[in-house]
Amino acid sequence: MKLQEKVIQLRKLNLELDFWLDHLEPNLVAAYRSEIDEDFWGRIVKIDRVFGSGGGDNYVTEWSISFFPYDSKRSSLSSNRLELEDIPYGIVSVPFKTDKGFKRNTMVRLCVICNKERAIVKRPKTGQQVCRECFYYVFETEIHNTITDNKLFKKGDKVAIAASGGKDSTVLAYVMKLLNQRYQYGLDLFLLSIDEGITGYRDDSLETVKRNQQQYELPLKIVSYSELYGWSMDQIVKEVGLKNNCTFCGVFRRQALDRGAVILDVDHIVTGHNADDIAETILMNILRGDIARLPRCTEICTTGDGSIQRSKPFKYTYEKEIVMYAYFKKLDYFSTECVYSPNAYRGHVRTFIKDLESIRPSAIIDIIHSGEAFEVKEGVKLPIQGVCKRCGYMSSNELCKACMLLEGLNRGLPKLGIGKNFKQKE
């Protein structure tokens, strides 16, 4: 019996491994004799959660653990049980074959970036397996690169973070504060929230923003639709119904953010639009033939004439990675869809992008790369940017969209300004 001889040789080496061999030998020898203990070999690896005082610990059990003589703290193992964190580092590979001839290796993977820590996530953007610290590093550095390469801020700028309490803006507030300190941007940061007046959605998410204000120690300003326009979203929906209400919300929010920024006296607003949002908008603009917005929607920084700058530091950041970041950093955010659900057409596009991403992780960045390369032909008629006669806000018509919608509401003609064939009444 060669195996047993080897074990005896091994024992003679005095490696103090006896405890391990004692434990491993019977099972291996039995297997060589074709006396397979199916109960033992049938289970390769299993993660058990053991609850005790001070919370639960994850244990890995079953036979694959029997092959580890020590844990990562160099203390010897005597049972088939190992805490998840204590699995020794280094790639341990166990090739195996199933009945169907399917081969694969089970490995404890190392982070491909640092090659030291154990990988805990597969990065959605690249498919790389990375550890927690490296994930934080690349995530934050990409945002920092985006900010510096595009020269988004100057030292001493007052910057408002558009905060909704959702994952994007919560992570944005956290990362902006962190990068501002780490790289000494010298920015004065504020939180700016819009209260659209949607019961069961915004009231709850604003509570999150208020908690964020304390956690991040940033001044907060909330402006509400009812105070700006005299209409809350709940009232608007009562008037116009569920169709097209997102038009009101979107148009009003854009202006409300600018007005809030004026009240705060800031130079710049940053929003939490992520790479998925931008890819979606690029495709939406192609699908609905909006040639004017197609080149504009990939701009990282937009400025109306004289008005406040607006930028998207998350332009190249994947939504999934934002969620991951919030999860690992245990950030406090609010995650409920708006009660006035989004429309179907954009839903198709969203599903399409998710499917693309599953075929090829880089697809979202690839779409943005395409979008950035688009240039409109000379001679194509584009709407001319002017100024709204009533409120002075930039507009491509005589009256800006917000004023138009507002007039409709106030005059009891809520359909005014919606759809293709609207007429502007004097």
Partner 1 sequence: MCSIEDVPNEVDVKIKSITKKCIKCKSTPTILIRHSTYCKQCFQHAFVGKFRKNMDKLRSVNSKGEKVMVGFSGGPSSSRAMLQLLSDYNEVLPNEISKKPLFSEVLVCHIDESSIFGLDDSDDHDVILSQVEQVAQNYNYSFIGLQIDDIYSPDYTSNGSYNKVLEVTFDKSKQQDIDELHAKICQQETSTKKKLQSLLDGVSKFTAKEDLAWHLKQCLLINTARKNGCTKLLLGDCSTRLSIKIISLTSKGRGFSLPLETSGLNSSFGDVTIVRPMKDMLSKEIGIYNKFQGFEATIISSLTSMMPPKSSIDRLTEEFIVKLERDFPSTVSTISRTAAKLTPPEFIDSDNRCIICLMPYQKDDKIWQSRITVMTTPSSSTIVKIQNSTSENSIINSSTCSGAATCCSSDCCTSKDLNICSLTDFLCYACRINMRDINSITLPPYVSEDVQKRSGRENLKKSIEEYFLNDDD
Residues lying near partner 1 in the complex (CB under 8 A) are found at 112-115, 125-126, 128-129, 134, 137-138, 141-142, 145-146, 149, 244, 246-247, 249-251, 273, 277, 281-291, 294, 316, 338, 340, 342-343, 345-346, 348, 352, 355-356, 358-360, 362-363, 365-367, 369-378, 380, 401, 419-420
Measured distance CA(331)–CA(341) in Å, rounded: 25
CB of 106 to partner 1, least distance (A): 17
Measured distance CA(344)–CA(353) in Å, rounded: 14
CB of 225 to partner 1, least distance (A): 13
- Identify which of residues 137 and 328 has a Cβ nearer to partner 1 in the complex: 137
Measured distance CA(113)–CA(282) in Å, rounded: 32
- Identify which of residues 61 and 370 has a Cβ nearer to partner 1 in the complex: 370
- Identify which of residues 348 and 411 has a Cβ nearer to partner 1 in the complex: 348
The amino acid at residue 79 is: S
Beta strand extents in 6-126 (DSSP E only): 46-52, 55-61, 82-83, 93-97, 103-107, 121-122
- Identify which of residues 310 and 401 has a Cβ nearer to partner 1 in the complex: 401
* The two structure tokens encoding residue 88: 């020794």
CB of 66 to partner 1, least distance (A): 28
Contact (Cβ atoms closer than 8 angstroms) between residue 408 and residue 414: yes
- Identify which of residues 70 and 345 has a Cβ nearer to partner 1 in the complex: 345
* Closest-CA residue to 125 (of 106, 141, 110): 141
CA dihedral 403, 404, 407, 412 (to 10 degrees): -150
Measured distance CA(205)–CA(212) in Å, rounded: 11
Contact (Cβ atoms closer than 8 angstroms) between residue 201 and residue 336: yes
* Closest-CA residue to 196 (of 162, 149, 235): 235
* The two structure tokens encoding residue 278: 């931008």
CB of 283 to partner 1, least distance (A): 7
CB of 29 to partner 1, least distance (A): 35
Measured distance CA(104)–CA(345) in Å, rounded: 42
- Identify which of residues 260 and 371 has a Cβ nearer to partner 1 in the complex: 371
CB of 141 to partner 1, least distance (A): 5
Contact (Cβ atoms closer than 8 angstroms) between residue 313 and residue 173: no
The amino acid at residue 94 is: V
CB of 250 to partner 1, least distance (A): 4
The sign of the torsion formed by the CA atoms of 60, 61, 64, 66 equals positive
- Identify which of residues 94 and 246 has a Cβ nearer to partner 1 in the complex: 246
- Identify which of residues 113 and 220 has a Cβ nearer to partner 1 in the complex: 113
CB of 316 to partner 1, least distance (A): 4
